[in-house]
Amino acid sequence: MAGMRRIDNVGGLPLHEDGSAPPLRVNDLIQFLTDRKRSTKCPHCDWKGGWEIAMQDAADNDEEQGETANPCLQIFRTESLCGNLHTSTAVICPNCGHFGQIATYKLRQWKLGKETGDE
Ligand SMILES: [Zn+2]
């Protein structure tokens, strides 16, 4: 169907986080949202002040690497009826509570493209 694509594990990436890769962090998400030109306006209300990000407590992070200023993202699991597991992270509207999920495999694809790019 035109304009429709099947969700796929493009590039051999799993659709869900399985803990085998370094954790996704807040700075990854912010850079991804910026690169993809994702709006900071809420699609459901008149909020324009940016998103809250689902992040883990600093205590959960690897303080040895001084990463407390860049916390790991909270990862949510969604399982389909046929058993496919997807993971996502989330941005939340501070005004109306709209909870927007972002598939982690898109973040992984983006990171791979970045890491193999011309840096
Ligand atoms: Zn809102």
Rounded average pLDDT per 10-residue block, the chain, 119 residues: 68 83 94 92 94 81 61 94 94 96 94 71
In a domain, 62, yes or no: yes
Q: How far is the CA of 42 from the centre of ligand 1 (A)?
A: 5
Q: Does residue 23 lie within any of the structural domains?
A: no
Q: How far is the CA of 39 from the centre of ligand 1 (A)?
A: 12
Tell me the whole-structure pTM to 2 decimals.
0.81
Cβ burial, residue 48 (10 Å; 0-12/13-18/19+): exposed
Query: Which of 12-17's residues contact partners 24+ apart within 8 Å by CB, and which partners?
Result: 13/105, 13/108, 13/109, 13/112, 14/105, 15/84, 15/85, 15/86, 15/87, 15/103, 15/105, 16/77, 16/85, 16/86, 16/87, 16/104, 16/105, 17/75, 17/87, 17/104
Report the separation in Å between the CA atom of 26 and the middle of ligand 1, taken as the mean of its atom positions. Answer: 21
What 8-state DSSP symbol labels residue 43?
S
Task: Report yes or no on 106 lying in a domain.
Answer: yes
pLDDT of residue 68: 63
Classify residue 51: in a domain, yes or no: yes
Q: Ligand 1 center to residue 90 CA distance, Å?
A: 14
- Distance of CA 2 from the midpoint of ligand 1 (Å): 31
Cβ atoms of 62 and 55 within 8 Å: the answer is no
What pLDDT sits at residue 119? 45
The reply to whether 32 falls in a domain is: no
Q: How many domains does the chain have?
A: 1
- Please give the residue range of the domain that contains residue 43: 37-115
Distance from the alpha carbon of residue 88 to the mean position of ligand 1, in angstroms:
19
Centroid of ligand 1 to alpha carbon of 33 (angstroms): 17
How, if at all, do strands 76-79 and 99-103 pair?
A: unpaired
Q: Given this model, what pLDDT does residue 78 score? A: 94
Q: What is the pLDDT of residue 20?
A: 87
